[in-house]
């Protein structure tokens, strides 16, 4: 399974192993996308409150989940 289209099609599989593997792969992809967009928003000066509102979560949840990644990425560019 590679492309998003292949994953979306696999989610509809009658084989539970295929469907569950596709769900897991999509979950990983969504986590990567969320992290990338949060890092981009922080780099552009967005507050944790604004990011949390856009994600539909509380500020503390967004900060707890992503703050260490943003700090790590900022440090890796120096």
According to the model, what pLDDT value does residue 3 have? 85
State pLDDT tens for residues 29-73.
999 999 999 999 999 999 999 999 999 999 999 999 999 987 666
Give residue 78's pLDDT. 37
How far apart, in Å, are the Cα atoms of 5 and each of 28, 30, 62, 67? 15, 14, 28, 31
Residue 75 has pLDDT above 70, yes or no: no
Q: What SS3 class is residue 2?
A: coil
Confidence of residue 77 (pLDDT cuts 50, 70, 90): very low
Q: Are 21 and 10 in contact (CB under 8 A)?
A: yes
Please state the pTM of the whole predicted model. Answer: 0.78
């Amino acid at each position: 399974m590679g492309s998003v289209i292949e994953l979306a099609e696999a989610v509809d599989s009658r084989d539970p192993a295929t469907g569950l593997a596709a769900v897991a792969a999509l979950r990983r992809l969504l986590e990567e996308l969320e992290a990338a967009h949060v890092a981009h928003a922080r780099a552009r000066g967005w507050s944790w409150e604004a990011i949390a509102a856009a994600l539909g979560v509380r500020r503390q949840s967004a900060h707890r989940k992503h703050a260490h990644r943003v700090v790590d990425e900022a440090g890796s560019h120096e």
